[in-house]
Structure 1
């Protein structure tokens, strides 16, 4: 699985496509504000969540597999006169010289682990880097059979406005492997008819029971799952699964 190259060519336009995607920011900020020690964000990318935690005076560190994404984060931090503590690492095998009281994995980053070995490797690394009273929070989408049946395979287009420029996003979701259960997203970004960025990535399709089994296998025994970032119960497939986990 080529984690490293997924977003390298997408780094310069990532923030254009994902502008306004901030429903999770308040949740992760609140989750980390009362941390009794340092915080680690896995998959900090261009800093969409990370910089907001820094702005809230959270003692936050970050890792990401993409060097170009981290370069964007550092430049954004420089403009805000922040000093980020981030480094390039793979969530499946990262190491740090300290443990963390909170670890967060926002924006479905965990789903880039397509197989059980990678999923468990990531969870083991997280558990090894949590303090005894620490907590993990992450979010993953719940596969909706109706959406898979009606929307996957169909090209979708939508427009975005950024810096007085109009961009068109063209994307297609596909059920790439029906046995191993993962989907593929092909996404392109156009400005004035010219392609300015593209990315292809895959996400594992994990239901609630599978996530629970993974957590149990990785040595966790205390967790809560919510339906979205406002603490609502998980009752339908159109909600985001938001997990809060203790060692």
Structure 2
């Protein structure tokens, strides 16, 4: 999904924006409600094309954002202009960034932390985010729960379905496969074909599994003072059967 500079290519970014924007996830309302409840500015890391970030702006939140992809941010700015919003976003790397203000809340939605595939990169991101927060500030993010039924049942096989893209039916092919069992790394391959069978793009996301014990160990090694985890954007502790981990890490007062 990224070129050699880590950026979404333009066609892939527009496809991602349309497909994910049309999805049905509970994260938009969750992060909007969270952002409107804090007393201070909010930073959305890996904000992408603005699916969540623009809803924060529309709700009156003093929100900044960044992403590694200039193409994604260009689409975010287009959407903002259409809605009369004034975004404050820039290009930066989640594993190595600095800011010039202190935030009451930082967020990292939709598995974005899983794009950091090494412990060093993951810890570097937590340190950068910790340093961006004011005393007592919070970092909230979500990653999926690795499901063995899904991994055993679908990983390694191409999945094909018809999708609408720019008002025309296209064929979408995706395959998720484990590429390093020891390091728990996996690739998500995405290909899009038009009605004539011409391939519009072929991209690969390279990610890392982050099961709950791994995230807890990262939190323990990070500068954060304490943490908690709930399931599926609810307010109950995560339990067997939940598919999404929602973590909150807190900076000391």
TM-score, scaled relative to structure 1: 0.93
CA deviations over 1:151-208 (Å, ceiling 9, x no partner): 1101112233356432332100000111111110001123323333332111111111
Unaligned runs of 5+ in 2: none
Matches of 2:109 and 2:214 in 1, distance apart?
19
1:128-167 aligned at under 5 Å gives the runs 128-161=131-164, 164-167=167-170
Aligned to 1:7: 8
Shift of 1:210: 1.0
Match of residue 112 from structure 1: 115
Per-residue CA shift, 1:77-103, capped at 9, x if unaligned? Answer: 111111100000001111111111010
- Once the 2 structures are TM-superposed, how far is the Cα of residue 125 of structure 1 from its aligned partner? 0.2
Counterparts of 1:1-247 in structure 2, within 5 Å, are 4-9=5-10, 10-18=12-20, 19-161=22-164, 164-192=167-195, 193-236=197-240, 239-247=243-251
CA contact (8 A) 1:175 1:182 kept: yes
Give the ranges of 4+ consecutive aligned residues of structure 1 lying more than 6 Å apart after TM superposition.
none
Give structure 1 stretches of 5+ with no counterpart. Answer: none
What CA distance in whole angstroms lies between the structure 2 residues aligned with 1:50 and 1:5? 20
Indicate conservation of the 8 Å contact 1:142/1:237, yes or no: no
The TM-score with structure 2 as length reference comes to: 0.91
Q: For the aligned residues, what is the CA RMSD?
A: 1.8
- Residue-pair matches, total: 247
Counterpart secondary structure, 2:14: coil
